[in-house]
Amino acid sequence: MGLFDYVKSEYKLPIPQEVLDDLQDTEWEEVEFQTKSFGYDGNLDSYEISEEGLIYIETYKHTGEGILDRTRTGIEKIDYTGELIFYADFTSKEWDYWVEFKALFFKGELKEINLSELEKKDPGDRIEMEKMIKKNFSNFVDRLNSPWRKALLIIIIPTQIVLAVAKWFLGLLVQAIWKIERWIH
């Protein structure tokens, strides 16, 4: 699993009506799809397909050392030629969807776009996993906040300090013995 770039599309995507109906609250122009089509250069770039079918890249001014230490300065049209595959997961009460599109660009202009994959899954497994994660997290928080743990910390911290001092003293003793052995030989 590698890192990816983002793609938004103002261009009307070929989404089946059944999916549009089930995900009617989704603002498709705001969805950040993922793509690996451009190759990852370490920048987590964001691309946009305009209503006219032109492809743009968001431009940034770097403000620090990290890749996310930046401020957006605008967009710039790119002359990309090739296939752009972008995808996303969506969830609803009825179904989970994996949606993947393939778009063909020539010199920055969209020539063709197709829905290449649509996987409709029962959300039961995801819902069960979310319940299990919430339960485990709740149990973890309960253990952290339990009175027994607080009482143990009163005992554990001084014990750790005593053991650290003993370990330091024994380390000095081992070093002294080693030096004496070297002096004798």
The band of 135, judged by pLDDT with boundaries at 50, 70 and 90, is very high
Specify the higher pLDDT residue, 72 or 14.
14
Mean pLDDT of 106-125: 92
Specify the higher pLDDT residue, 1 or 100.
100
The answer to whether the predicted template modeling score (pTM) of the entire model surpasses 0.85 is no
How many CB atoms sit inside 10 A of residue 53's CB?
18
Handedness of CA 16, 122, 22, 30 (dihedral sign): negative
